Amino acid sequence: MTSKLARFFMTIALVASVAALAQTGNAAAAPASGASNSSAPAAPAATGTTGTKVGTISIEQAIFATNEGRRDFEALSKKLEPKQNELKGQNDELEGLKKQLNTQGDKLNEDARATLVKQIETRQKSLDRSVQDAREDAQNQQNEIAQRILQKLAPVLVKYANENGFGVIIDTSQPWPQGPVVWWGEAVDVTKPVVEAYNSQSGVPAPAANAPAAKPAATRPSATPGSRPATAPKATEPPK
């Protein structure tokens, strides 16, 4: 149960860390099931394109790095805090009962021990259900934000590609071997300029610079654009 609760808290932490990581140019995290899942809109066709350049973009990083994304995921993080605290309280109570059973179990009579074991089992099942429901709710809300931004990001990307002579732009959100790109260099990554173009068009101001920055999650998401498999050749990191 502790590992399940930790994974849920990690989801919350990843959302909360968007602002801090986006300011340094790194992807904070992806929505729980990824920005480019099966419900994502189809990539727009590059009709009429005459460019020949090849570029890369981390769609997930772009979504999180936009001013709109940073604003909305920060708001979601704050919205989810009460549930996070509630689950932590339930988990702490459960761990206390388990500790009591471990330290005092052999001193309890049969009925008292059976009652304590039953109480632990009941609370464990309840907490399991609560964590699962909370994770699904957080994931759904994250995906709703990501899909909304992605719908508006797609035409911005197409416009940028056409204006800058690109014939192909490949999504590098998923690292190899989950994704198709084994290696890419800094010079071909267009995530930053596309995000800047999106921010300019959206009119959403950047979060206040003096706002308290959320602590990054201890574990980096696997979809970080700078991630490389150990067997892949080294490259410069994507733009910071």
> In this structure, what CATH number is given to the domain that contains residue 138?
3.30.910.20
What's the pLDDT at 45?
54
Residue whose structure tokens are 């267009």: 190
Cis bond before residue 207 (omega within 30° of 0): no
Q: Is 220 contained in some domain? A: no
pTM value > 0.75:
no
Report yes or no on 231 lying in a domain: no
Residues in a beta bridge with 54: 168
Q: Quick one: pLDDT at residue 139?
A: 94
Please tell me the distance from the alpha carbon of residue 10 to that of residue 217, in angstroms, as a whole number. 7
Instruction: Express each pLDDT in 157-198 by its tens digit.
Output: 999 999 999 999 999 999 889 988 999 889 999 999 999 999
Dist. CA 73–CA 78, nearest whole Å: 9
Range of the domain at 163: 2-88+134-202
Does some domain include residue 224? no
Per the CB < 8 A criterion, the answer to whether 226 and 236 are in contact is: no
Q: How many structural domains does the chain have?
A: 1
Give counts: helices (H), strands (E), the chain: 6, 2
